[in-house]
Amino acid sequence: MKQLFENAGVAHVQWQVLSLPMEERVAEIQKIRTDFTMWMLSKFSLNANQLRQLSEMSEALRNEIAEGIADSWEEGVLVNFNKDEGDDEDEDDRGAKEIIFEKRGGKSALLNHPDDKPLSTIAVSIWIRYRDL
C-alpha cells in the first residue's frame, strides 16, 4: 500500500525498507539509485503538486537525495526526515517551499575494544519547509 508523503508515511517506508532481509534491501536500494522518481511513485501516493515538484526538481538534486538515502540505508541508518505539516494542495498560499538536504560522513571508534578500527558513519537529513515570501 502506498503511503502519503508526509512524516508518518516516510517513517513507515523507512521501517519497511530497513526491516527487509539484506538481499532484498540491497535490491530496493538499487531501485532508488537507478530511478528515484519511479521508486517514489511506487512507494508514495503523491498529489498533483508533489508530482509536479518531483518532476521539476533538478536532476542533480534528485540524484544527490537518492544517493544520500541509498547510502544511509546501506548502513542500516534512518534518514532524518522532517516535512512541515499542512495541506500540499493549498501550498500556493503557504509561501515558498525549500528542500534542505544534508549529508555528513565521519568516523567513529569503540574505546577499549579489541577491534579498534574506525567505523564509517553517515547522517542524512531532509527537511521540507515553507517560508513566508
Q: Which of 117, 95, 96 is nearest to 107 (CA)?
A: 117
pLDDT band at 114 (very low <50, low <70, confident <90, very high): low
Residue 133, pLDDT > 60, answer no
**Is this prediction's pTM over 0.85?**
no
Listed by start position, the domains of the chain span 3-131
Mean pLDDT of the chain: 85
Handedness of CA 129, 7, 88, 69 (dihedral sign): positive
Grid coordinates of 48: 498533483
Q: What percent of the chain has pLDDT over 90?
A: 59
pLDDT band at 109 (very low <50, low <70, confident <90, very high): low
The neighbouring-strand residues paired with 103 are: 124
pLDDT tens per residue across span 73-87: 998 999 999 999 865
Other Cβ atoms less than 10 A from the Cβ of 69: the count is 23
Q: Which of 52, 56, 51, 49 is nearest to 88 (CA)?
A: 49
Residue 112, pLDDT > 80, answer no
For the ranges 60-64, 71-75, 97-101, the lowest mean pLDDT is seen at 97-101
Q: Which amino acid is at 120?
A: S
